[in-house]
Amino acid sequence: MIKENLLEIKKSIPENVTLVAVSKTKPIEDLQEAYAAGQRIFGENKIQEMVDKYDALPKDIQWHMIGHLQSNKVKYMAHFVDLIHGVDKFSTLKEINKQAKKHDKVINCLLQVKIAKEDTKFGFSFDEIDEILASEELVGLKNIKVAGFMGMATFTDNKQQLEEEFSSLKTFFDLKKTQVDLDNCELQTLSMGMSGDYTLAIENGSNMVRVGSSIFGQRNYNA
């Protein structure tokens, strides 16, 4: 079913929207099936699991880290990770920069913004993002690139609330795009939307969706 699910989703999203296939907890065979169907971007939320899968799978896959980051583990993925979605501390950005430098590369990062009303979700406030984007220290981080923002909406069926949360980040993103002029910031990616809400997220400005269970089926634990 993985292939059918993928093709179905690909058909339903506009061309300018990037689909990240969230494969956390799923076995290698499931990723191979998605790969055979043409998928090249996979998202994982645990560094060790992503490293194991990276080692086992073709090297033209782009690996996205979508989970909450532990700074001390950044070094294990620095040599191959393509995009880190969930940066929610400035110190993490500095650690990513340090590890990227060791490999003489630039690592793309998204700053996670808290848009959900729940207090379980990680992320910066809009004000905190403003502070970071204005800080002298950011300018010195030459081995990272801030490529945009990531947001997770409240876990709810309330369509209006979801729309408000998504569009608030889209508005902020568009504003920052016009204001920020730094060598290591190129705001182009807005990562919003998961299996339950990606259509709504796209309607409200997302250009990158992170879809897991709608491709691979339900996970057997809450990850």
Ligand X SMILES: *Cc1c(COP(=O)(O)O)cnc(C)c1O
Which residue ranges make up the site for ligand X (CB under 6 A)? 22, 24, 45, 66-67, 152, 194-196, 210-214, 223
| Min separation Cβ 85 and ligand X, Å | 7
| Min separation Cβ 60 and ligand X, Å | 23
Residues 206, 17 contacting (CB under 8 angstroms): yes
Q: CB-wise, 19 or 96, nearer to ligand X?
A: 19
| Min separation Cβ 87 and ligand X, Å | 12
Q: CB-wise, 148 or 212, nearer to ligand X?
A: 212
| Min separation Cβ 192 and ligand X, Å | 10
Among 138, 135, 166, 139, which residue's Cα sits nearest to residue 150? 166
First-to-last C-alpha distance (Å) of the chain: 21
Q: CB-wise, 67 or 148, nearer to ligand X?
A: 67
| Min separation Cβ 190 and ligand X, Å | 14
Interatomic CA distance for residues 172 and 187, integer angstroms: 11
Residue 162 tokens, joined: 């979801």
Interatomic CA distance for residues 69 and 85, integer angstroms: 9
Strands (DSSP E) along the chain, which ranges? 18-22, 41-44, 62-65, 83-87, 107-114, 144-152, 185-192, 208-211
Block residue for tokens 């076995």: 27
| Min separation Cβ 45 and ligand X, Å | 5
Q: CB-wise, 177 or 219, nearer to ligand X?
A: 219
Q: CB-wise, 88 or 143, nearer to ligand X?
A: 88
1 class by beta-carbon count within 10 Å (0-12 exposed, 13-18 middle, 19+ buried): exposed
Q: CB-wise, 184 or 195, nearer to ligand X?
A: 195
Task: Give residue number: closest CB to ligand X.
Answer: 212
